Structure 1
Amino acid sequence: MAAPHFRPAFLHPRYFPMWMGFGLLWLLAQLPFSLLLKLGRGLGAVVYRLAQRRRQIVQRNLQLCFPELDESERERLAKENFASTGMAVFEMAISWWWPLARLRKLGLIEGLEHLKQAQQERQGVILMAAHFTTLEIGAALLGGQHSIDGMYRTHDNPLFDWLQRCGRERHNADSLAIEREDVRAALRLLRQGRALWYAPDQDYGRKHSLFVPLFGVMAATVTATSRLARLGKARVLPFTQERLPNGRGYRLVIHPPFADFPGESEQADCLRINQWLEQVIRAHPEQYLWAHRRFKTRPEGSPSLYNKA
C-alpha cells in the first residue's frame, strides 16, 4: 500500500469538526502522562453512563466469558474496562504525536531477541496479538525498537484514515499499514523477512472462519493465521502488551515462536490460538476490547447471543 498523502480535499469545511477535535486531542496530549491517564478514566466513566448499547455488549461478553463471577464482580470489571478504553483514547494521541524519545521511556520490551533472530535468519514473522485497549501504544512502542508492519481496516472517513496511517507509520521510515483484505501484500512482506502485526481475535463472519470454543463459547475464528504462516513461510511469535499500574508505563512481551505451527489442521490451529487468547485475556481482562461483539456469528441454527435493542 502506498504511503499516506495529504489531500487538499481535507481542507473542506465538512472536515472542520474533525480537525477541531483532533486539534484539542493534540493539545491535551501535551499534558503529563499521569494526568492523561486520569482524564482517560474520567472519559471512560462518562461513556459508561451514556453509551448504553456498548455497555450492554461489554456486560454480555463478560457474562458469557466469566460465568463464575457474580453480577457485582462483572459490573466492577465492566466499569474498569470502560476506564481502560477511555485511557486508550489518550494513549492513541501519545503514540501518534509524542516525540519518539519521550514515548520510548514508557515501555519495557521483553523477548526482542526472538524478533531479531528471525530477522537475522531472513525469516518472516507474524506478531500474533490481540485487541487489547493498549494495542495502539503497544504497537508504537515496539515500532520504536524494531521495524514492523501492521494489518488494519481502512477507516470510512478518509481524513481519519490519513491521520491514523501517519500516526502508525511514523515510528520507522519503512513501516507499512496493510489493509486487512490485501493478502498478497501481506504474503509478499512475510516472504521478504518482514514482521507483520496481526490480531486474529475478532469476528469477521463465516467466510474464512471455523467455529471453535473461546471461553467455552463457540466462536467464529479466522483461519488466516495458519494460511499466512504456511504461504508466507513465517514464524508465529505471540505478542502481548499490558498497562502497568500506578502510571508506570507498559510491559511488552514477544514470546517464543509457536512450535509446530501450522499444525495438522486449521481446526487444531484455531483452537490453539483461542486457548492462547483465553490465557492472555484472563491475565488482564479489564484491558481487553470487550465492546466488540465477539460471538456475533453463530453456528447454523443457534440463536443470537446479543439483544437487538
Structure 2
Amino acid sequence: MDRPQFSPAFLHPRFWLLWLGLGLLWLVVQLPYAALLALGRLGGAAMLRLAGSRRRIAARNLELCFPHLSESERKALLKANFASMGIAFFEMAMSWWWSRERLARLAHIEGIEHLQQAQAQGQGVILMALHFTTLEIGAALLGQRHTIDGMYRQHKNPVFDYVQRRGRERHNRDATAIEREDVRAMLKVLRAGRAIWYAPDQDYGAKQSLFVPLFGIPAATVTATSKFARLGRARVVPFTQERLADGSGYRLTLHPPLADFPGESEEADCARINAWVEQAVSQLPQQYLWAHRRFKTRPPGAPKLYS
C-alpha cells in the first residue's frame, strides 16, 4: 500500500471539528507521561459510567472467563480495565506524535533476538499479538527497533485514516501496510523474510474459523494463522506487551517461536493458540480489550451469550 498523502480535500469544513479535536489532543499529549496516565484513568472512569454497552460487554466477558472470581473482584477488574482503556487513548496519540527519542525511553524489550535470528536466516515471522489495550504503543515501540509490517483496515473517515497511518508508519519507514483481506500480499511479505503483526484473538465469524475452547467456552477461532505460517514458510513468534505499574514504561516480550507449527491439524493449531491466549490474558487481565464480543459467534444451536 502506498504511503498516505495529504489531500486538499482534507481542509473541507466538514473536517474542521475533527482537526480541532486532533489539535487539542496533540497539545494534551505534550504533558509529562505521569500526567497522561492520570488523565487516562480519569477518562476511563468516565467511560465506565457513560459507555453502557461496552461496560456490559466487558462485564459479561469477565463473568464468562473468570467465574471463579467473586462479584466484587470482577467489579474491581472491570474498573481497572476501563482505566487501562482510558490510558490507551493517550498512548495512541503518544505513539503518533511524541519524538522518537522520548518514546524510546519507555521501551523495555525482551527477546528481540527471535526476530533478528529469523531475519538473518531469511525467514518470515508472524508476530502473533493480542488485543491488549497497549497494542498501539507496543507496536510503535517495537517498530523503532525492528521493521514490522502490519495488517490494515482503512478508516471510514479519510482525515483520521491519514493521521493514523502517518503516525503509525513513521516508526517503520520501510514497512508495508497490507489490507486485511489481501492474503497474496501477506504471503509475499512473509516469503521475503519480513515480520508482520497479526492478532488472531478476536471473533471474525464462523466462515474461516473453527470452534475451539477459550476459557472453557467454544470460541470461533480463525485458522488463518496456520495457513499463513505454512504457505508463507514463516515462524510464529508470540508477542505481548505490558504497561508497567511503576510508571517506567512498557515491557515488550517476544517469546520463542512456536515449535512444530503448523501441526497435524488446524484444530490442534487453533487449540494451541487459544491456550496461549488464555495464559497471556490471565497474566494481565486488566490490560486486555474485554469490550469486544469475543464469543459473539456461537456453535449451531448454542444460546447467545450477550443480551
**Is 1:168–1:177's contact at 8 Å kept on the other side of the alignment?**
no
Give the 5 Å matches for 1:241-252.
241-252=241-252
Cα distance between partner residues in 2 of 1:159 and 1:203: 28
Structure 2: runs of 5+ lacking an equivalent: none
Return the TM-score normalized by structure 1.
0.98
Cα distance between partner residues in 1 of 2:146 and 2:99: 17
Cα distance between partner residues in 2 of 1:301 and 1:13: 50
Partner of 2:239 in structure 1? 239
Give the 5 Å matches for 1:114-129.
114-129=114-129
Shift of 1:226: 0.5
Partner of 1:65 in structure 2? 65
Matched, 1:137 2:137: yes
Partner of 2:290 in structure 1? 290
Amino acid at match of 1:3: R
Cα distance between partner residues in 2 of 1:21 and 1:246: 30
What SS does the aligned partner of 1:245 have?
A: coil
Moved more, 146-155 or 193-202: 146-155
Cα distance between partner residues in 1 of 2:22 and 2:303: 41
Partner of 1:200 in structure 2? 200
Cα distance between partner residues in 2 of 1:145 and 1:55: 36
Amino acid at match of 1:16: W
Percent sequence identity is: 69
Amino acid at match of 1:207: K
Partner of 2:10 in structure 1? 10
Shift of 1:113: 0.7
Cα distance between partner residues in 2 of 1:238 and 1:49: 34
What SS does the aligned partner of 1:247 have?
A: coil
Cα distance between partner residues in 2 of 1:246 and 1:32: 15
Partner of 2:159 in structure 1? 159
Moved more, 170-179 or 232-241: 170-179
Cα distance between partner residues in 1 of 2:179 and 2:43: 30
Cα distance between partner residues in 1 of 2:256 and 2:123: 14
Partner of 2:37 in structure 1? 37
Cα distance between partner residues in 2 of 1:153 and 1:274: 24
Partner of 1:275 in structure 2? 275
How many pairs are equivalent?
307
Shift of 1:248: 1.2
Give the 5 Å matches for 1:162-201.
162-201=162-201
Shift of 1:153: 2.1
Amino acid at match of 1:93: A
Amino acid at match of 1:2: D
| RMSD of Structure 2 on Structure 1 (CA) | 0.7
Cα distance between partner residues in 2 of 1:153 and 1:281: 24
